[in-house]
Amino acid sequence: MHHGWSRLREILSVQQRVTATFRQRDGRTLHVRKATVPDPELREIHTMLNLPSNPGGIKKQTI
């Protein structure tokens, strides 16, 4: 893979962390955070660097 820094930053910028918030029956709030699915170009970078394609995993927190 041969890209300049500006192209690499562009490729890396497509993956984000998102939070979904749900109100549970008992009144508590559940927050779920996870990364979006990487496109093929970003997945290739993750593979080359031996990194997981879902950085941070899925985090669940109940408040």
One-letter amino acid for residue 31 of the chain: H
Three-class DSSP labels, the chain: CCCCHHHHHHHHCCCCEEEEEEECCCCCEEEEEEECCCCHHHHHHHHHCCCCCCCCCCEEEEC
**Domain housing 27:** 16-62
Query: Is residue 22 scored above 90 in pLDDT?
Result: yes
Query: Is residue 1 scored above 80 in pLDDT?
Result: no
Q: Is residue 21 part of a domain?
A: yes
Q: Mean pLDDT throughout 23-34?
A: 96
Longest dimension (CA), the chain: 53
Q: Is residue 33 part of a domain?
A: yes
- What's the number of domains the chain is made of? 1
Angle between helices 40-48 and 5-12 (to 10 degrees): 110
Share of the chain above pLDDT 70, in %: 100
42 or 2: which leads in pLDDT? 42
Q: Is residue 8 part of a domain?
A: no
Q: Is residue 39 part of a domain?
A: yes
pTM (global) more than 0.75? no
Query: Is residue 62 scored above 90 in pLDDT?
Result: yes
Q: Is residue 9 part of a domain?
A: no
Q: Is residue 11 part of a domain?
A: no
